[in-house]
Amino acid sequence: MNKTVLVLVETVDDYLPLLEQAGYRLIRAPSPQMRADAIARHAGEIDAVLTRGPLGLTAAEIEALPGLQIICVIGAGYEQVDLAAAFARGITVTNGAGANAGPVADHAMALLLALLRDIPRADASTRRGEWNRVISPSVSGKRLGVIGLGAVGQAIARRASLGFDMSVSYHSRTPRADVPYTWYDSPLHLADAVDVLVVATPGGAGTRHLVDGAVLEALGAEGYLVNIARASVVDTSALVLALQNGGIAGAALDVFDDEPLVPEVLRGLGNTVLTPHVAGQSPEAARDTVALVLRNLQGFFGGGGVVTPVLG
């Protein structure tokens, strides 16, 4: 396939040869400066862009690429891709819905377990030669609430329900008839009904600060928050306040507002577990992600249609 792909992502390098083996020419530009230089030097050559939600693709960049036909986003979220600009040009946009759902759900459960069972502090104190046998809450039997029941949300729900005997409820825009879980019409009502609230919905203007101070208050002093989606879904200021004053028991976060910077106040709190946006990263997930990109590119340029379109 004699097409050129501008690659803005930096997390799937080991599997990019799958695209090259299929005949695609890759221009790798994983840093802001390399990205600007690549667009300036190769604008007329680029047929496709490979990006991810937080990296996006701006209206100005889209305008600067006269031959651009398709934008492939790895991961489910595409919040920083200017969809209006893309669709105005007739450019197809795809995402990676479901490709890394398993690893993200695994990580969500790992964070949940680490948070409730206080694993990081137990590990640290044991390494210091201490023997602090602190009593921590059980996970089994807890009430789990999931905001967003897409591929990731469903994978988390299955693990919690089948693996830990947790009752599962969820909030999404409309109830789903194909799942055995209880639907709530708002994050506020969901938070009021659960012990652990997991954020698994895409970012963007439509979900900004879905979890605000009122939702955290409803979750309560014995409640826990886990976010493996996008930081923008949670009001960070309200979360910090709730963590500091005992409004909630704890939070486990894989995403932050200004990555890679993590607020010092969060790093200093003892009731948080923090990881550097790695929930969706595993060799298996990277392989499956690039394979899905390849299927979308082959379907698009081959005339058969894309597999995971983002609709306007």
Residue 230 annotated as catalytic: yes
Let me know: does 203 contact 255? Beta carbons within 8 Å: no
Sequence-distant (6+) residues with CB within 8 A of 110 are none
Closest among 118, 116, 228 to 164, alpha carbons compared: 116
Catalytic pick from 52, 159, 171, 277? 277
**Is residue 35 flagged as an active site residue?**
no
CA–CA gap between residue 42 and residue 202 (Å, rounded): 31
Phi, psi angle pair for 26, to nearest 5°: -110, 135
Catalytic residue among 259, 267, 287, 295: 259
Q: Which of 52, 107, 171, 230 is catalytic?
A: 230
- Please confirm, yes or no, whether 222 is among the known catalytic residues: no
b (16+ CB within 10 A) / e for 106-124: bbbbbbbebbbebeebbee
Which residues are catalytic, by number? 230, 259, 277
